[in-house]
């Protein structure tokens, strides 16, 4: 099984097979519109606009499992993201990322990258102590999974890692060929 075996629906209820992104560097993010981390949409959009011509894609997966911070409908979420942050990357339908009803894609992502990794404020690569987390569950909104051009999950970034802090890793993946 690979990342390309999964599919979802866009916020407009259109089929969104992940095989469509084969050969691209892909960032998958669980999002929320009423979270303290919601302004990350701005940096996500900047990354997307800067690198999309080089084969970089982002898919946002709205999720309401963390403090009820994504209460809107798919249409309301899409409109909010467009109006407030100019989001032009694909948004999927709202899903669950943890538990028995978690979307199969997120079950796979959690299996492939169980440890949160990221950068500190100075941009230095850090790895969190896995013993502090009870499981591979997504801990909060804006957890990010980076997928290489071959469909491999190569990094999992915690919610507080700002999108721009990942740019160097994204750029390294973009220069690699399939």
For residue 63, indicate whether it is catalytic.
no
Q: Which of 4, 7, 35, 154 is catalytic?
A: 35
List, for residues 87-135, the tens digit of each pLDDT value: 999 999 999 999 999 999 999 999 888 655 544 554 434 554 443 344 6
pTM of the model: 0.89
User: Average pLDDT in the 145-167 region?
Assistant: 93
Q: Are 129 and 107 in contact (CB under 8 A)?
A: no
Is residue 86 predicted with pLDDT exceeding 80? yes
């Amino acid at each position: 099984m690979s990342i390309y075996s999964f599919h979802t629906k866009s916020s407009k209820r259109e089929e969104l097979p992940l095989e469509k992104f084969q050969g691209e560097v892909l960032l998958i993010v669980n999002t929320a519109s009423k979270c303290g981390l919601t302004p990350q949409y701005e940096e996500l959009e900047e990354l997307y606009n800067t690198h999309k011509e080089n084969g970089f894609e982002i898919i946002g997966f709205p999720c309401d499992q963390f403090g009820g911070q994504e209460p809107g409908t798919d249409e309301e979420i899409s409109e909010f993201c467009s109006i407030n942050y100019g989001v032009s990357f694909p948004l999927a339908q709202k899903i669950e990322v943890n538990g028995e009803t978690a979307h199969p894609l997120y079950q796979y992502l959690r299996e492939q990258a169980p440890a949160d990794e990221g950068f500190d404020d100075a941009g230095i690569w850090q790895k969190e102590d896995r013993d502090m987390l009870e499981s591979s569950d997504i801990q909060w909104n804006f957890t990010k999974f980076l997928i290489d051009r071959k469909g491999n999950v190569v990094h999992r970034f915690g919610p507080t890692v700002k999108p721009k802090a990942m740019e160097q890793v994204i750029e390294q993946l973009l220069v690699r060929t399939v």
